[in-house]
Amino acid sequence: MTIPTPFPIGTILGYPRIGRHRELKKAVEAFWAGDITAEELELTTVGLRAATRDRLAALGLGRTDSAIPESFSYYDQVLDVAVTVGAIPARFASLVGEDGAVDLVGYFTIARGEGDKAPLEMTKWFDSNYHYLVPEIGPETVFSLSSDRIVREFAEAKSAGLVTRPVVVGPVTFLLLSKPSDDAPAGFDPLSRLGELLPVYAELLGRLAEAGAEWVQLDEPALVNESIVVARDAQLNGLAHAYDVLGAVAGRPALFVAAPYGGLDDALPILAASPVEAIGLDLVRGELPQGLDGTTAVNLARKTLVAGVIDGHNIWRGDLEQAFDLAASVRELSSSVAVSTSTSLLHVPHDVDEETGLGELADWLAFADQKVAQVVTLARGLVNGKAAVRAELDAASAALVNRRSAPGVRVGAVRARTAGLGDADFNRGDYAARHSAQEAVLGLPFLPTTTIGSFPQTSDIRRARAQLLRGSLSEQDYLELMRAEIRRVVELQEEIGLDVIVHGEPERNDMVQYFAENLDGFAVTQNGWVQSYGTRCTRPSILWGDVSRPAPITVEWSSYTQSLTSKPVKGMLTGPVTILAWSFVRDDQPLGETARQVALALRDEIADLEAAGIAIVQVDEPALRELLPLKRKDHANYLDWSVGSFRLATAGVRDETQIHTHLCYSEFGVVIDAIRELDADVTSIEAARSRMEIVADVEESGFGHGFGPGVYDIHSPRIPSVDEVTELIERALASIPGRQLWVNPDCGLKTRGYAETVESLRNVLTATRAVREKA
């Protein structure tokens, strides 16, 4: 290729795509509901993309120097690649048109499933709370360029006079994140298809070049993740091969390979030796590469190094001067240095200026737009010298000083309590004794059935909460409405025949935010939405100060529920790790210290539940796996504080009180030891989507406590048939002793509708009864 146009001096790896006021979510859901047409949806997204580009330009990113990333997606960036390269699983073959493409209806069907066609599996994106769809690749997958959406979006910007930078998940990461298709032979490795996939990427690069793209960003975060099972050698060989091939594409755009979420380690020499023009380093999670061999040092000096020094994961304004110095230090490696965010800004809300209720806290924060401004400031400093941005650096430092000494950030009583903890605070008695004590109290049948906690959040419930917030509904009326809902949910569960009753969580807007609102040390935003998956967004709370519990939180709801039924009611709490994982957490002390503060607040809550006669308490830790550091060297410390905080929260109860936990993923093997260490009496876990694959791991591990692998995939509106559920229970029974086994859905039901929920639960109970009879 010819000499590339220089890489922009400041950029970001990606920008939230859901819209400042969740316009994308609303439009896509309206499309699903049949309220708008595909054309109307497309038109909305044209407007959203234009608004994003304009805003980024207004914040200071260059309009024509490839600084603005083209990072839109209707649903998910990994699904986008699958659809672009034609990797459509055989069961969706009928969605593929004559031209080899799937339309919007087809695209969403692959994401969400339809009838007996299960959707693509969904799993967490690195150590974030974003979920991507897992492509299915087999020997039969025929790769071909099947969508020109990426090219069209670039062209759309071009016709408005901008030269933007398309962002695409890179080929190695795409295959490393894929799973073998149903038709693949045992032991098949999707990465073995790299050779056939690369020509499609090559063709895409060619098309982008024709359209005028000067730089293309290929994201290869899988290379920083040490928990990927494919052998490292194969990964590195794939990486070398991929970029040799793509580097040799005639007339291609310049290539920027970004590696967010951690250090590249041994992948860095490979990228350095490849023909790519720019390499993105996450210098927030990763470190400045040191001790490089001579060849790598020489190779790197020829690249543009894109210093990811502004944290894309959290919302703190942070130490801007330190970030500047860090970016400047990258000049030791190459004279060509640009500044960027460490990851896409997908993980943070749009704009602090949308918030009005945060007071002084607002000054300590940076959401996406503020982070873009920070990047622009640092870039200006790199070009014009530090003095040119002195005022901005000083303002950020002043906010930090202010934050350190603000009331509530360090509370003496909270600190004294965590400092006084001893071993006994973390340990329950022997499991066998607990087991028989609980059996005597609870009297549950073989294969006890329960749900994970939430029932559908109807529009009535959400409306009531909105009215309460606006003041058009009194506290008392709200309480009455929620109680009526609880009565309905309890009756329904009794009628369906569930054994352990939940109250349905109608009073909770969100399983973390609800607790955040009731604990000291947290703030909640009004519009701080971030995408969790597809159209699903969450509004993480901000954990800014020392945490304590001013008053009981759930006790009245649970006691009320227990007053309605003679069956055991399961109290429902969110665990310390998950509260941290799904909040934006203070960065001024170790996570473990913050987790212990949250754990003590929960411990008090559990003691109050127990005293109120609640015999089962579930402490949800769906995020335990998600927070697991991507690098093995960090695991021991993480497991120590995460497991420790769960135990601290739950170890204060009597033997008779049954502690449940719930985890939302199927990669059980990785954290099996940690799950055992939690020492919960019963653990429920997602398993239906992967058709009970995990029970083999559980069997192998000798895990001996209660275990409830999900038999109903609640991520899809599909209703599982009785036969399907029966088969799943029987599969579980083949590996897990019956006395340990519980029957439950994969997760909470809050995102589902009532009709499908009731029918699904009835099928679960019918299947359970059939299996019980056979036993």
Positions in the binding site for ligand GLN (CB under 6 A): 452-454, 505, 511, 572, 620, 622, 662, 664, 747-748, 750
Q: Near Zn ion by CB under 5 A, which window of 409-417, 561-569, 636-644, 746-754?
A: 746-754
Nearer to ligand GLN, 567 or 662 (CB): 662
Cα 87 to Cα 19, 73, 84, 193: the distances in Å are 28, 17, 8, 11
The listed partner (ligand GLN, Zn ion, none) that binds 28, CB under 5 to 8 Å by sort, is none
Structure tokens, 655: 């033997």
Q: Which is nearer to ligand GLN, 71 or 574 (CB)?
A: 574
Task: Tell whether 583 is in a known binding site.
Answer: no
Cβ neighbours, 10 Å, residue 608? 20
Q: Which residue is nearest to ligand GLN (CB)?
A: 748
Residue with Cβ nearer Zn ion (281 or 747): 747
Q: Which of residues 210-229 bind Zn ion (CB under 5 A)?
A: none
Minimal distance in Å, beta carbon 753 to Zn ion?
18
* Residue 715 is a catalytic residue: yes
Element (H, E) at 53: helix 38-58
Report the C-alpha gap between 471 and 234 in whole angstroms: 60
Phi first, then psi: give them for residue 529, nearest 5 degrees.
-80, 140
| Nearer residue to Zn ion within complex by CB, 109 or 574 | 574
* 454 touches, from Zn ion, ligand GLN, none (C-beta below 5 to 8 Å by class): ligand GLN
Is residue 592 within a helix (H) or strand (E), and if so which, with residue range? helix 591-611
Q: By CB under 5 A, is residue 575 in contact with Zn ion? A: no
SS3 label, residue 8: coil
Given Zn ion, ligand GLN, none, residue 647, with its beta carbon under 5 to 8 Å by kind, binds none
Interaction partner, residue 511 (ligand GLN, Zn ion, none; CB < 5-8 Å by kind): ligand GLN
Any residues with CB less than 8 A from the CB of 760 and at least 6 apart, and which?
712, 719, 720, 745
Which of ligand GLN, Zn ion, none does residue 127 bind (CB under 5 to 8 Å by kind)? none
- Determine if residue 536 is labeled as part of a ligand binding site: yes
Q: Is 452 annotated as a binding residue?
A: yes
Is residue 454 marked as binding?
Answer: yes
* Rounded distance between C-alpha atoms, residue 450 and residue 497, angstroms: 9
Q: Exactly one of 263, 504, 622, 706 binds Zn ion (CB under 5 A); which one?
A: 622
Q: Is 616 annotated as a binding residue?
A: no
Cβ-Cβ contacts under 8 Å for 138 (sequence gap 6 or more): 180, 181, 182, 183, 184, 188
650-709: contacts with Zn ion (CB under 5 A): 664
- 3 state SS of 520: strand
Report d(CA 763, CA 775) in Å as an integer: 18
Sign of the CA dihedral with 719 first, then 723, 725, and 731 last: negative
Look at the block and give the residue holding tokens 């894929």. 178
Residue (215 or 533) nearer to ligand GLN, CB: 533
* Strand residues in 69-115 grouped as ranges (E): 69-70
Phi (first) and psi of residue 71, to 5 degrees: -120, 30
Residue of 747, 764, 765, 771 that binds Zn ion (CB under 5 A): 747
Nearest to ligand GLN of 153, 620 (CB atom):
620
Judged by beta carbon, residue 625 or residue 631, the one nearer Zn ion is 625
311 is in an annotated binding site: no
State the number of CA atoms in the 13 A half-sphere of 445 facing the CB.
Answer: 17
Least distance in Å: CB of 640 to ligand GLN? Answer: 23
CB of 572 to ligand GLN, least distance (A): 5
Q: Is 25 annotated as a binding residue?
A: yes
Separation CA 736–CA 704 (nearest Å): 9
Contact 577, 595 (CB under 8 A): yes
Rg (CA), the chain: 26
Give me the least distance between CB of 567 and Zn ion, in Å please.
22
Give the binding-site size for Zn ion (rule: CB under 5 A). 3
Out of 131, 503, 660, 715, which one is annotated catalytic?
715
Residue 572 contact, options Zn ion, ligand GLN, none, Cβ 5-8 Å cut-off depending on partner type: ligand GLN
Q: Per the annotation, does 537 bind a ligand?
A: yes
C-alpha closest to that of 87 among 145, 141, 123: 141
Residue 166, beta-bridge partner list: 70
CB nearer to Zn ion: pick between 55 and 750: 750
179 annotated binding-site participant: no
Give the nearest distance from C-beta 420 to Zn ion in angstroms: 34
| Beta-bridge partners for 585 | 543
CB of 148 to ligand GLN, least distance (A): 37
Q: Which does 750 bind (CB under 5 to 8 A by kind): ligand GLN, Zn ion, none?
A: ligand GLN
Other C-beta atoms within 10 Å of 40: how many?
12
**Termini Cα distance of the chain:** 70
747: annotated binding-site residue? yes
By CB under 5 A, what part of segment 368-407 binds Zn ion? none
- The whole-angstrom separation of Cα 468 and Cα 476 is 10
Closest contact distance (angstroms) between CB of 451 and ligand GLN is 7
DSSP-assigned states of every residue in 385-415: -GGGGHHHHHHHHHHHHHHHHSTTSS-HHHH
Shortest spacing between CB 448 and ligand GLN, in angstroms: 17
Q: Are 682 and 705 in contact (CB under 8 A)?
A: yes
The answer to whether 465 is annotated as binding is no
User: How many residues are present in the chain?
Assistant: 775
Residue 686 CB, nearest approach to ligand GLN (Å): 9
Nearest CB to ligand GLN, comparing residues 137 and 659: 659
CB nearer ligand GLN, residue 599 or residue 663:
663
Tell whether residue 620 is among the known ligand binding residues.
yes
What is the closest distance, in whole angstroms, from the C-beta atom of residue 535 to ligand GLN in the complex? 17
Neighbours of 275 (CB within 10 A): 15
Cα separation, 617 vs 570, in Å, equals 5
Whole-angstrom distance, CA of residue 386 vs CA of residue 378: 8
Backbone angles phi and psi of 56, in degrees to 5: -65, -35
Residue ranges for the binding site? 22-25, 124, 452-454, 505, 536-537, 582, 620, 626, 662, 664, 686, 747
Query: Which residues make up each annotated binding site for 5-methyltetrahydropteroyltri-L-glutamate?
Result: 22-25, 124, 536-537, 582, 626
Which residues are the active-site residues? 715
Binding residues for Zn ion (CB under 5 A): 622, 664, 747
Annotated binding site for Zn(2+): 662, 664, 686, 747
Annotation: binding site for L-methionine: 452-454, 505, 620
Sequence ranges of the binding site for L-homocysteine:
452-454, 505, 620
